[in-house]
Structure 1
Amino acid sequence: MGPHCLYWKIIWRLKILPIIRVFACRVGHEIMPTNMKVGFNRPNVNPMCQRCGAAKETLIYAIKECPSTRATLTYGWLDDRLISFDFEHYIDWLEADMRLLDKKAMEDLITLHWNSWNNKNNFTFHGKEAAEIILGRAITISNDFRIHSLNNNPMLPLHPAM
Protein backbone atom coordinates (compact mmCIF):
# COMPACT_ATOMS: atom_id res chain seq x y z
CA MET A 1 0.00 0.00 0.00
CA GLY A 2 2.09 2.94 1.21
CA PRO A 3 1.43 6.66 1.34
CA HIS A 4 0.63 6.96 -2.37
CA CYS A 5 -1.71 3.98 -2.84
CA LEU A 6 -4.48 6.17 -4.31
CA TYR A 7 -2.08 7.51 -6.94
CA TRP A 8 -1.25 4.01 -8.14
CA LYS A 9 -4.89 2.90 -8.22
CA ILE A 10 -5.91 5.95 -10.23
CA ILE A 11 -2.99 5.78 -12.68
CA TRP A 12 -3.97 2.26 -13.73
CA ARG A 13 -7.60 3.29 -14.20
CA LEU A 14 -6.88 6.26 -16.48
CA LYS A 15 -7.70 5.89 -20.17
CA ILE A 16 -4.30 6.87 -21.54
CA LEU A 17 -1.89 5.26 -23.94
CA PRO A 18 0.13 2.42 -22.36
CA ILE A 19 3.41 4.26 -22.98
CA ILE A 20 2.05 7.27 -21.07
CA ARG A 21 0.90 5.00 -18.23
CA VAL A 22 4.41 3.53 -18.02
CA PHE A 23 5.76 7.11 -17.98
CA ALA A 24 3.41 7.95 -15.08
CA CYS A 25 4.67 4.91 -13.18
CA ARG A 26 8.30 5.78 -13.82
CA VAL A 27 7.88 9.37 -12.68
CA GLY A 28 5.88 8.17 -9.66
CA HIS A 29 8.90 6.09 -8.65
CA GLU A 30 11.24 8.93 -9.73
CA ILE A 31 13.35 6.70 -11.96
CA MET A 32 13.52 9.04 -14.96
CA PRO A 33 17.04 9.91 -16.18
CA THR A 34 17.39 13.53 -15.08
CA ASN A 35 20.79 15.22 -15.10
CA MET A 36 20.93 14.91 -11.30
CA LYS A 37 20.39 11.14 -11.44
CA VAL A 38 22.80 10.63 -14.34
CA GLY A 39 25.35 12.95 -12.70
CA PHE A 40 25.17 10.93 -9.48
CA ASN A 41 26.37 7.83 -11.34
CA ARG A 42 28.63 9.63 -13.83
CA PRO A 43 30.44 12.56 -12.16
CA ASN A 44 31.48 14.09 -15.50
CA VAL A 45 27.80 14.88 -16.37
CA ASN A 46 26.69 18.41 -15.55
CA PRO A 47 23.69 18.21 -13.15
CA MET A 48 22.34 21.59 -14.31
CA CYS A 49 19.29 21.86 -16.58
CA GLN A 50 20.46 21.88 -20.20
CA ARG A 51 17.55 24.05 -21.33
CA CYS A 52 17.89 26.96 -18.91
CA GLY A 53 21.05 26.26 -16.88
CA ALA A 54 19.44 27.97 -13.88
CA ALA A 55 19.13 25.05 -11.47
CA LYS A 56 19.96 21.40 -10.97
CA GLU A 57 17.68 19.21 -13.06
CA THR A 58 15.60 17.12 -10.70
CA LEU A 59 12.45 15.40 -11.91
CA ILE A 60 10.08 18.01 -10.49
CA TYR A 61 12.26 20.78 -11.97
CA ALA A 62 12.30 19.19 -15.42
CA ILE A 63 8.52 18.63 -15.57
CA LYS A 64 7.20 21.62 -13.62
CA GLU A 65 9.67 24.37 -12.76
CA CYS A 66 12.02 24.83 -15.72
CA PRO A 67 11.06 28.09 -17.51
CA SER A 68 10.52 26.30 -20.83
CA THR A 69 8.32 23.67 -19.19
CA ARG A 70 6.49 26.37 -17.23
CA ALA A 71 5.81 28.14 -20.54
CA THR A 72 4.18 24.96 -21.86
CA LEU A 73 2.07 24.55 -18.73
CA THR A 74 0.88 28.15 -18.74
CA TYR A 75 0.37 28.11 -22.51
CA GLY A 76 -1.92 25.14 -21.88
CA TRP A 77 -4.15 27.36 -19.72
CA LEU A 78 -3.40 25.50 -16.51
CA ASP A 79 -5.08 26.99 -13.51
CA ASP A 80 -2.58 28.69 -11.20
CA ARG A 81 -3.75 26.41 -8.37
CA LEU A 82 -2.17 23.49 -10.23
CA ILE A 83 1.29 24.93 -10.77
CA SER A 84 1.91 27.53 -8.06
CA PHE A 85 2.63 25.27 -5.07
CA ASP A 86 6.10 23.91 -4.38
CA PHE A 87 6.56 20.16 -4.14
CA GLU A 88 9.69 18.13 -3.62
CA HIS A 89 8.40 15.06 -5.50
CA TYR A 90 6.35 14.70 -8.67
CA ILE A 91 3.98 12.18 -7.12
CA ASP A 92 3.01 14.68 -4.40
CA TRP A 93 2.24 17.29 -7.05
CA LEU A 94 0.04 14.88 -9.03
CA GLU A 95 -1.83 13.79 -5.91
CA ALA A 96 -2.59 17.44 -5.15
CA ASP A 97 -3.82 17.86 -8.75
CA MET A 98 -6.01 14.75 -8.39
CA ARG A 99 -7.86 16.55 -5.61
CA LEU A 100 -8.77 19.36 -8.02
CA LEU A 101 -9.25 17.67 -11.39
CA ASP A 102 -11.64 15.12 -12.81
CA LYS A 103 -10.54 11.93 -14.57
CA LYS A 104 -10.40 13.39 -18.10
CA ALA A 105 -8.42 16.42 -16.94
CA MET A 106 -5.89 14.14 -15.19
CA GLU A 107 -5.53 12.10 -18.36
CA ASP A 108 -4.84 15.31 -20.26
CA LEU A 109 -2.39 16.59 -17.64
CA ILE A 110 -0.33 13.40 -17.60
CA THR A 111 -0.35 13.37 -21.41
CA LEU A 112 0.93 16.95 -21.37
CA HIS A 113 3.70 15.95 -18.93
CA TRP A 114 4.68 13.06 -21.18
CA ASN A 115 4.85 15.40 -24.18
CA SER A 116 6.84 17.89 -22.13
CA TRP A 117 9.33 15.16 -21.16
CA ASN A 118 9.67 14.17 -24.82
CA ASN A 119 10.29 17.82 -25.65
CA LYS A 120 13.07 17.92 -23.06
CA ASN A 121 14.67 14.93 -24.73
CA ASN A 122 14.27 16.49 -28.18
CA PHE A 123 16.03 19.59 -26.92
CA THR A 124 18.81 17.53 -25.33
CA PHE A 125 19.46 15.42 -28.42
CA HIS A 126 18.31 17.66 -31.29
CA GLY A 127 18.42 21.20 -29.84
CA LYS A 128 14.82 22.23 -30.56
CA GLU A 129 11.65 22.87 -28.60
CA ALA A 130 8.45 24.90 -28.82
CA ALA A 131 5.62 25.23 -26.29
CA GLU A 132 2.98 25.43 -29.02
CA ILE A 133 4.11 22.14 -30.57
CA ILE A 134 4.10 20.32 -27.23
CA LEU A 135 0.61 21.51 -26.47
CA GLY A 136 -0.56 20.63 -29.97
CA ARG A 137 0.69 17.09 -29.52
CA ALA A 138 -1.06 16.78 -26.16
CA ILE A 139 -4.30 18.02 -27.69
CA THR A 140 -4.02 15.55 -30.52
CA ILE A 141 -3.38 12.64 -28.19
CA SER A 142 -6.12 13.56 -25.72
CA ASN A 143 -8.65 14.75 -28.36
CA ASP A 144 -10.16 17.56 -26.33
CA PHE A 145 -7.65 19.12 -23.99
CA ARG A 146 -9.61 20.59 -21.09
CA ILE A 147 -7.30 20.87 -18.08
CA HIS A 148 -8.89 24.16 -17.01
CA SER A 149 -12.36 22.60 -16.77
CA LEU A 150 -12.83 21.97 -13.08
CA ASN A 151 -16.61 21.46 -13.34
CA ASN A 152 -16.60 17.69 -12.85
CA ASN A 153 -16.02 15.95 -9.55
CA PRO A 154 -12.34 15.59 -8.59
CA MET A 155 -10.83 12.11 -8.49
CA LEU A 156 -9.91 12.39 -4.80
CA PRO A 157 -11.81 14.32 -2.13
CA LEU A 158 -10.42 17.76 -1.35
CA HIS A 159 -10.05 16.84 2.32
CA PRO A 160 -9.03 13.23 3.06
CA ALA A 161 -11.27 11.32 5.45
CA MET A 162 -9.71 10.51 8.79
Structure 2
Amino acid sequence: MKELNDDIAQLLRDQGSVTVSTLDASGSIHSACKGIVDIEKKGRIYLLDLYLRRTFANLKRNPSISITVCDEHRFIGYCLKGKAKIMKSQDVGPHIMKAWEDKISSRISKRIVKNVRGEKGHPLHPEAMLPRPEYMIVMEVHETVDLAPIPIKHRAL
Protein backbone atom coordinates (compact mmCIF):
# COMPACT_ATOMS: atom_id res chain seq x y z
CA MET A 1 0.00 0.00 0.00
CA LYS A 2 1.27 3.49 -0.85
CA GLU A 3 0.85 6.30 1.66
CA LEU A 4 -1.05 9.33 0.38
CA ASN A 5 0.67 12.69 0.68
CA ASP A 6 -1.19 15.63 2.22
CA ASP A 7 -1.98 17.23 -1.18
CA ILE A 8 -3.67 14.10 -2.51
CA ALA A 9 -5.60 13.44 0.70
CA GLN A 10 -6.83 17.04 0.84
CA LEU A 11 -7.86 17.06 -2.82
CA LEU A 12 -9.88 13.88 -2.28
CA ARG A 13 -11.58 15.45 0.75
CA ASP A 14 -12.30 18.67 -1.15
CA GLN A 15 -13.85 16.95 -4.16
CA GLY A 16 -16.08 14.45 -2.41
CA SER A 17 -16.49 12.30 -5.52
CA VAL A 18 -14.13 10.75 -8.03
CA THR A 19 -14.14 8.92 -11.34
CA VAL A 20 -13.57 5.21 -10.71
CA SER A 21 -12.35 3.00 -13.55
CA THR A 22 -12.55 -0.78 -13.63
CA LEU A 23 -12.19 -3.43 -16.34
CA ASP A 24 -15.22 -5.24 -17.71
CA ALA A 25 -15.37 -8.86 -18.90
CA SER A 26 -14.02 -7.94 -22.35
CA GLY A 27 -11.13 -5.92 -20.87
CA SER A 28 -12.68 -2.57 -21.76
CA ILE A 29 -12.54 0.30 -19.30
CA HIS A 30 -15.71 1.16 -17.41
CA SER A 31 -15.79 4.53 -15.61
CA ALA A 32 -18.33 5.76 -13.09
CA CYS A 33 -18.64 8.55 -10.56
CA LYS A 34 -18.44 7.35 -6.94
CA GLY A 35 -18.63 9.17 -3.64
CA ILE A 36 -15.71 9.18 -1.25
CA VAL A 37 -16.69 7.99 2.21
CA ASP A 38 -13.35 8.03 4.02
CA ILE A 39 -9.63 8.38 3.35
CA GLU A 40 -6.82 6.80 5.34
CA LYS A 41 -3.44 8.46 4.75
CA LYS A 42 -1.77 5.06 4.84
CA GLY A 43 -3.28 4.47 1.38
CA ARG A 44 -6.79 3.14 1.85
CA ILE A 45 -9.86 4.84 0.33
CA TYR A 46 -13.48 3.92 1.05
CA LEU A 47 -15.89 4.51 -1.83
CA LEU A 48 -19.63 4.41 -1.99
CA ASP A 49 -21.33 2.27 -4.62
CA LEU A 50 -25.06 1.85 -4.16
CA TYR A 51 -26.41 -0.05 -7.12
CA LEU A 52 -24.53 -3.37 -7.41
CA ARG A 53 -24.18 -3.10 -11.17
CA ARG A 54 -21.21 -2.77 -13.51
CA THR A 55 -18.54 -1.56 -11.09
CA PHE A 56 -19.56 -4.23 -8.59
CA ALA A 57 -19.50 -7.00 -11.23
CA ASN A 58 -16.18 -5.79 -12.63
CA LEU A 59 -14.48 -5.74 -9.22
CA LYS A 60 -15.79 -9.22 -8.35
CA ARG A 61 -14.10 -10.45 -11.52
CA ASN A 62 -10.94 -8.29 -11.40
CA PRO A 63 -9.88 -6.15 -8.40
CA SER A 64 -7.84 -3.68 -10.48
CA ILE A 65 -9.11 -0.14 -10.00
CA SER A 66 -8.08 3.43 -10.63
CA ILE A 67 -9.44 6.67 -9.24
CA THR A 68 -9.10 9.99 -11.04
CA VAL A 69 -9.60 13.21 -9.11
CA CYS A 70 -8.99 16.73 -10.32
CA ASP A 71 -9.62 20.35 -9.45
CA GLU A 72 -10.05 22.30 -12.67
CA HIS A 73 -9.71 25.68 -10.98
CA ARG A 74 -6.36 24.85 -9.35
CA PHE A 75 -5.30 22.80 -12.41
CA ILE A 76 -4.22 19.81 -10.32
CA GLY A 77 -5.16 16.18 -10.44
CA TYR A 78 -4.07 12.66 -9.65
CA CYS A 79 -4.73 9.14 -10.85
CA LEU A 80 -4.51 6.56 -8.08
CA LYS A 81 -4.04 2.95 -9.12
CA GLY A 82 -4.48 -0.11 -6.98
CA LYS A 83 -6.61 -3.05 -5.94
CA ALA A 84 -10.09 -3.03 -4.48
CA LYS A 85 -12.00 -5.23 -2.09
CA ILE A 86 -15.75 -5.38 -1.83
CA MET A 87 -16.85 -5.26 1.80
CA LYS A 88 -20.35 -5.65 3.13
CA SER A 89 -21.47 -2.53 4.97
CA GLN A 90 -21.76 -4.34 8.29
CA ASP A 91 -18.11 -5.41 7.96
CA VAL A 92 -16.58 -1.96 7.40
CA GLY A 93 -17.25 -0.70 10.91
CA PRO A 94 -19.60 1.86 12.40
CA HIS A 95 -17.22 4.81 11.87
CA ILE A 96 -17.33 4.27 8.09
CA MET A 97 -21.13 4.10 8.02
CA LYS A 98 -21.23 7.25 10.18
CA ALA A 99 -18.87 8.94 7.70
CA TRP A 100 -21.30 8.02 4.88
CA GLU A 101 -24.25 9.49 6.80
CA ASP A 102 -22.26 12.67 7.49
CA LYS A 103 -21.36 12.99 3.79
CA ILE A 104 -25.01 12.71 2.76
CA SER A 105 -26.04 15.33 5.32
CA SER A 106 -23.25 17.63 4.16
CA ARG A 107 -24.22 17.29 0.48
CA ILE A 108 -27.85 18.09 1.24
CA SER A 109 -26.83 21.10 3.35
CA LYS A 110 -24.53 22.45 0.62
CA ARG A 111 -27.28 22.05 -1.99
CA ILE A 112 -29.78 23.92 0.22
CA VAL A 113 -27.33 26.79 0.75
CA LYS A 114 -26.61 27.04 -2.98
CA ASN A 115 -30.34 26.95 -3.79
CA VAL A 116 -30.98 29.75 -1.26
CA ARG A 117 -28.21 31.80 -2.92
CA GLY A 118 -30.00 31.36 -6.23
CA GLU A 119 -27.33 29.14 -7.79
CA LYS A 120 -28.84 26.79 -10.33
CA GLY A 121 -28.69 23.14 -9.40
CA HIS A 122 -30.84 20.09 -9.00
CA PRO A 123 -34.25 21.24 -7.69
CA LEU A 124 -34.64 18.20 -5.42
CA HIS A 125 -32.30 16.58 -2.94
CA PRO A 126 -31.46 13.26 -4.62
CA GLU A 127 -29.03 12.32 -1.84
CA ALA A 128 -31.97 12.00 0.55
CA MET A 129 -33.46 9.32 -1.71
CA LEU A 130 -30.33 7.17 -1.97
CA PRO A 131 -30.60 3.66 -0.58
CA ARG A 132 -28.42 2.66 2.34
CA PRO A 133 -25.23 1.10 1.03
CA GLU A 134 -25.08 -2.68 1.06
CA TYR A 135 -21.35 -2.65 0.45
CA MET A 136 -18.35 -0.37 0.13
CA ILE A 137 -15.43 -0.43 -2.24
CA VAL A 138 -12.20 -0.40 -0.24
CA MET A 139 -9.25 0.58 -2.41
CA GLU A 140 -5.64 0.03 -1.48
CA VAL A 141 -3.49 2.50 -3.42
CA HIS A 142 -0.36 1.05 -5.02
CA GLU A 143 0.64 3.91 -7.33
CA THR A 144 -0.07 7.63 -7.65
CA VAL A 145 0.28 9.60 -10.88
CA ASP A 146 0.41 13.41 -10.82
CA LEU A 147 -1.65 14.62 -13.79
CA ALA A 148 -0.39 18.23 -13.86
CA PRO A 149 1.89 18.88 -16.85
CA ILE A 150 5.48 19.42 -15.69
CA PRO A 151 6.07 22.79 -17.46
CA ILE A 152 2.94 24.24 -15.84
CA LYS A 153 3.91 22.82 -12.46
CA HIS A 154 7.30 24.56 -12.54
CA ARG A 155 5.77 27.89 -13.60
CA ALA A 156 3.39 27.76 -10.64
CA LEU A 157 6.31 27.42 -8.21
The TM-score, its normalising length taken from structure 2, stands at 0.23
Q: If each structure's helix is expressed as a fraction of its own residues, which one has the higher value?
A: 1
Q: Which has the higher contact order (CA 8 A, sep 6+)?
A: 2
Looking at CA atoms only, which structure, 1 or 2, has the larger radius of gyration?
2
